[in-house]
Amino acid sequence: MSLDIKRPNSNKTKKKMGFIVKMQLHNNNNRGGSNKRNLFFVFFRSYYRWILWFFLSLYFFTSYFAGDQSSPSSTTTTRLLSNHNPSSSLPSRALIESSAIVTPGIFSGMKIYIYDLPARFNVDWVTKSDRCATHLFAAEVAIHRALLSDSSVRTLDPEEADFFFVPVYVSCNFSTSNGFPSLSHARSLLGSAVDFLSDQYPFWNRTQGSDHVFVASHDFGACFHAMEDMAIEEGIPEFMKKSIILQTFGVNYKHPCQEAEHVVIPPYIPPESVQRAMDRAPANGRRDIWAFFRGKMEVNPKNISGRFYSKGVRTAILKKYGGRRRFYLNRHRFAGYRSEIVRSVFCLCPLGWAPWSPRLVESAVLGCVPVVIADGIKLPFSETVRWPEISLTVAEKDVKNLRKILEHVAVTNLSVIQRNLREPAFKRALLYNVPMKEGDATWHILEALWRKLDRSYRRSRVLSE
Ligand SMILES: *[C@@H]1O[C@H](CO)[C@@H](O)[C@H](O)[C@H]1NC(C)=O
Ligand SMILES: *[C@@H]1O[C@H](CO)[C@@H](O)[C@H](O)[C@H]1NC(C)=O
Ligand SMILES: *[C@@H]1O[C@H](CO)[C@@H](O)[C@H](O)[C@H]1NC(C)=O
Ligand SMILES: *[C@@H]1O[C@H](CO)[C@@H](O)[C@H](O)[C@H]1NC(C)=O
């Protein structure tokens, strides 16, 4: 048996957290040593380490008393609270199950049912425009596809589901004038989806949707408006307030647009485009751009009902550092900008209308140190992705000292941050794949849902029986 706990090279002063725990159990002493068992626990934080040891002990405990009941499969998956084993005499209701493929054991046999909604709620939008599946709000499409492709957590039987995924693509109605998605129909589209499923199925009504999962991948999450004051005024639609919302928007203070159970998720960046940019990276790995930003920077910011884009931060950066040596700032769109990111040391990620930006993910996965300038932002999967070790945070009021701050880091801990960024687990956690891969963004969403299993109607029934 070997147990190795792998961590990215972490700052010694930081509280260490187990990042990846990869556990292998080799049980070679039966049936001629042919029976190997592997348990994979990926992304276990040290917080859960006791669970790990609990399972380990339990594993030996059950195999000792239950004798060898191994199936022909080579992988054993540990699941918690599974109710398929009435013969288990363990008070914890924990048991060991065997399955043919490696499945992440920490999901405890969690099951998700994906509603089969009429095409007008989802796939019709992608048929109309394939941009729908690739733009920065496309997490709603990516998560749906990844879950559909999954065979370990997805169930086709809603009766055995812990969670219900509602696949509605609301960010795909692209405006012909500015090319941005119009969100004006989002509420009514979601509302009619909920009417449809609460009429056709019994599951919504029995919990008022509290075990239902939505994606709200635009600026202010489930408030469905790109402008904060309007978003706050309109708030989260009443019918979604009890549900779980997967949203790109997140702040670490009270905000009306996150007053629902939610998980902060990464914006969508196509994994192929990341690969293409990597392929085009200079062969010697040299980063010849010191501080990089490309995107909207207004010289004279417009006063839009008392609000200024990026709270004027981008304008301040442009005014102070535009044209300065070492600062590569560009206001024009360029489709190949990711090939500039792979050549950059620091990538500025200032707020736009909302605090989050796709740059956070693009720079982190392309090895450019994200410089987060968005006060109060809550970054995606912050429970498991250790952002302080792979990024820098600069307060909005400190942008005037940006050069000094970056120079200080460059001579102190830049190489540590860059080394941390090379840890493949970070990159994996921020990208969505179809099919889902262990440790990727969808996998992390499942892990976050697993922590909300107390919302499962099915489990609450099983436990009360
Ligand atoms: C798409 O957006 C436009 C502009 O907001 C709106 O008029 C139209 O009804 C929307 N289309 C649908 C199908 O919801
Ligand atoms: C759920 O409740 C709504 C509103 O009360 C009702 O119209 C609908 O028929 C109910 N659905 C089912 C399946 O009973
Ligand atoms: C911006 O416009 C609002 C009215 O919409 C006004 O009250 C405010 O003073 C303006 N702010 C600045 C800095 O010009
Ligand atoms: C690097 O240094 C900066 C500024 O001194 C500090 O804020 C940051 O936490 C450090 N990061 C790491 C990973 O050591």
Chain segment 134-187, per-residue pLDDT in tens = 999 999 999 999 999 998 999 999 999 999 999 999 999 998 888 888 899 999
Pocket test for ligand 1, best of 123, 124, 170, 173 (most atoms within 8 A of CB): 173
185 lines ligand 1 (CB under 6 A): yes
Q: Is the same domain home to 76 and 33?
A: yes
| Protein residue with its CA nearest to atom 4 in ligand 4 | 409
Q: Is the same domain home to 255 and 125?
A: yes
Inter-residue contact 370 to 391 (CB < 8 Å)? yes
Q: How far is the CA of 308 from the centre of ligand 3 (A)?
A: 9
Q: How far is the CA of 225 from the centre of ligand 1 (A)?
A: 14
**Percent of the chain residues topping a pLDDT of 90:** 69
Confidence grade of residue 49 (pLDDT, cut at 50, 70, 90): very low
DSSP character at residue 252: S
| SS3 (DSSP) at 22 | strand
Beta strand ranges found along 65-181 (DSSP E): 75-79, 95-99, 112-114, 154-155, 163-165
As a whole number of angstroms, the distance between CA 199 and CA 213 comes to: 17
For the chain, report the end-to-end CA distance as a whole number of angstroms: 38
| Protein residue with its CA nearest to atom 9 in ligand 4 | 388
Q: Is the same domain home to 220 and 277?
A: no
Q: Is the peptide bond before 91 cis (omega within 30 degrees of 0)?
A: no
Phi, psi (rounded to 5 degrees) for 40: -115, 120
DSSP string, 266-327: PPP--HHHHHHHHHTS-TT----EEEEEES---SS---BTTB-GGGGHHHHHHHHHTT-TTE
How confident is the model over 328-335, as a mean pLDDT?
94
Q: Is the same domain home to 280 and 417?
A: yes
Q: How far is the CA of 408 from the centre of ligand 4 (A)?
A: 9
DSSP string, 314-383: HHHHHHHHTT-TTEEEE-S--TTHHHHHTTEEEEEEE--SSS--HHHHHHHHTT-EEEEE-TTB--TTTT
Phi, psi (rounded to 5 degrees) for 335: -60, -25
Secondary structure in 3-state letters for 135-155: CCCCHHHHHHHHHHCCCCCEE
Pocket test for ligand 4, best of 404, 413, 415, 416 (most atoms within 8 A of CB): 413
Pairing of strands 369-373, 344-350: parallel
As a whole number of angstroms, the distance between CA 137 and CA 294 comes to: 19
| SS3 (DSSP) at 114 | strand
Residue with tokens 């054993």: 76
Residues with CB under 6 A from ligand 2: 198-199, 202, 205
Summarize the chain as % helix, strand, coil (round to 5): 40, 15, 45
- In terms of pLDDT, which residue wins out, 4 or 214? 214
| Protein residue with its CA nearest to atom 12 in ligand 1 | 185
Closest to 297 (Cα-Cα) out of 311, 276, 279: 311
| Protein residue with its CA nearest to atom 12 in ligand 4 | 389
DSSP character at residue 198: H
* Res 338 pLDDT > 80: yes
Amino acid at 196: F
Q: How far is the CA of 309 from the centre of ligand 3 (A)?
A: 13
Pairing of strands 20-25, 2-6: antiparallel
Q: Is the same domain home to 124 and 245?
A: yes
pLDDT tens-digit profile of 67-119? 333 333 333 333 333 333 333 333 222 222 333 334 445 688 999 999 999 99
Pocket test for ligand 2, best of 192, 194, 198 (most atoms within 8 A of CB): 198
pTM over 0.75: yes
306 lines ligand 3 (CB under 6 A): yes
| Protein residue with its CA nearest to atom 5 in ligand 4 | 409
Q: How far is the CA of 13 from the centre of ligand 4 (A)?
A: 11
Pocket test for ligand 1, best of 128, 184, 225 (most atoms within 8 A of CB): 184
DSSP β-bridge partners for residue 165: 114, 213
Q: Is the same domain home to 143 and 209?
A: yes
Q: Is the same domain home to 119 and 264?
A: yes
As a whole number of angstroms, the distance between CA 168 and CA 144 comes to: 9
DSSP character at residue 428: H
Structural domain boundaries, residue 351? 271-430
Of the listed ranges 69-73, 179-183, 238-242, 345-349, the one predicted with least confidence: 69-73
* Res 60 pLDDT > 90: no
| SS3 (DSSP) at 205 | helix
Q: Is the same domain home to 240 and 285?
A: no
Q: Is the same domain home to 134 and 253?
A: yes
Q: Is the same domain home to 133 and 95?
A: no
DSSP character at residue 80: S
Q: How far is the CA of 273 from the centre of ligand 1 (A)?
A: 29
| Protein residue with its CA nearest to atom 10 in ligand 1 | 185
pLDDT tens-digit profile of 411-430? 999 999 999 999 999 999 99
Phi, psi (rounded to 5 degrees) for 215: -110, 130
Which ligand 3 atom sits closest to the C-alpha of 307? Answer: 1
Domain boundary among 107, 122, 139: 107
Q: What is the pLDDT of residue 105?
A: 54
Phi, psi (rounded to 5 degrees) for 92: -75, -5
173 lines ligand 1 (CB under 6 A): yes
Q: How far is the CA of 300 from the centre of ligand 3 (A)?
A: 14
Encoding tokens for residue 392? 């820098």
| Protein residue with its CA nearest to atom 5 in ligand 3 | 305
Q: Is the same domain home to 149 and 210?
A: yes
Q: Is the same domain home to 262 and 374?
A: no
Of the listed ranges 7-16, 108-117, 119-128, 216-225, the one predicted with least confidence: 7-16
Q: How far is the CA of 314 from the centre of ligand 3 (A)?
A: 19
As a whole number of angstroms, the distance between CA 465 and CA 459 comes to: 10
As a whole number of angstroms, the distance between CA 419 and CA 413 comes to: 10
Secondary structure in 3-state letters for 328-344: EEECCCCCCHHHHHCCE
Inter-residue contact 420 to 135 (CB < 8 Å)? no
Closest to 456 (Cα-Cα) out of 154, 84, 111, 163: 163
Q: How far is the CA of 456 from the centre of ligand 1 (A)?
A: 35
The CATH number for 308's domain is: 3.40.50
| Protein residue with its CA nearest to atom 11 in ligand 2 | 199
Query: Relative to the alpha carbon of 305, which ligand is closest?
Result: 3
Encoding tokens for residue 191? 């509302």
Query: Relative to the alpha carbon of 200, which ligand is closest?
Result: 2
Q: How many domains does the chain have?
A: 3
Encoding tokens for residue 451? 């922590």
416 lines ligand 4 (CB under 6 A): yes
Q: How far is the CA of 187 from the centre of ligand 1 (A)?
A: 12
